[in-house]
Chains A and B, each alone.
Chain A
Amino acid sequence: DIQMTQSPSSLSASVGDRVTITCRASQSISSYLNWYQQKPGKAPKLLIYAASSLQSGVPSRFSGSGSGTDFTLTISSLQPEDFATYYCQQSYSLITFGQGTRLEIK
């Protein structure tokens, strides 16, 4: 099974900050990496698919990069509605999620 490791597990930041979350796969997954945002009591929302493609309707302050085993999600200027938990997910071989990164207000 492919393991996904996110870092950090939690992060405190302020509105307007630039934030980067990383995700590492236990083996190469090409660009089969997706990012989700989840707010409390809500279903996950797809932000980025295929490592760097922005899902329709998602603000352009979200971006993704990487290939192979190392990937990043960047939020260029944090907005109040961005405080949530973020998950990476590989879909190269079945599906595996990272453990999540909780983004909190500083």
Chain B
Amino acid sequence: QVQLVQSGSELKKPGASVKVSCKASGYTFTSYAMNWVRQAPGQGLEWMGWINTNTGNPTYAQGFTGRFVFSLDTSVSTAYLQISSLKAEDTAVYYCARHGYSSSWPDYWGQGTLVTVSS
């Protein structure tokens, strides 16, 4: 069965970096793109962008350029989200979610990774 398993919660200080992983199983990793979605505490869903798992080409939503980097390791079917120069407002749950190249709607989601930024 399709599974996206994300890395565990992180507690970071302002200015630090964090790397969240999303390991896929149960399907061919390169047949689906990977999205990243942020949800701040008590807030709605915010799409951060997606990465083409065939080419490694990322697309970032407005507001998620510069400090946010999507990457892949296709040898282990894993997508990564790295956030640098962390700020308190980056505190959120981060989700990965796949979508088919011919479908465009994210269907399977990871369980989410809570990143807390606090001094």
Contact = CB atoms under 8 A, between A and B. Distances in A.
Interface of A: 1, 32, 34, 36, 38, 43-46, 49-50, 55, 87, 89, 91, 94-100
A46 B105 contact: yes
30 contacts: A1-B62, A34-B105, A36-B45, A43-B97, A43-B109, A43-B111, A44-B37, A44-B45, A44-B97, A44-B109, A46-B105, A46-B107, A49-B103, A49-B105, A55-B107, A87-B45, A89-B105, A89-B106, A91-B99, A91-B105, A94-B47, A94-B59, A94-B61, A95-B61, A95-B106, A96-B47, A97-B47, A99-B44, A100-B44, A100-B45
Interface of B: 35, 37, 44-47, 50, 59, 61-62, 95, 97, 99, 103-107, 109-112
A43 B114 CA distance: 12
| Residue of A1, A44, A87, A89 most packed against chain B (CB within 10 A) | A44
Interface of B is mostly: loop
A97 B45 contact: yes
B79 to A, nearest CB: 15
Given A95-B47, A97-B45, A46 B106 contact: yes
Contacts of B50: 95
Minimum-distance CB pairs A-B, first 3 = A43-B109, A91-B104, A95-B47
A87 B106 CA distance: 13
A100 B50 CA distance: 21
Contact of B35 (A36, A38, A95, A99): A95
Given A49-B107, A87-B45, A97-B44, 13 more contacts: A38-B45, A43-B95, A43-B97, A46-B106, A46-B107, A50-B105, A55-B107, A89-B106, A94-B61, A95-B50, A97-B46, A98-B44, A100-B45
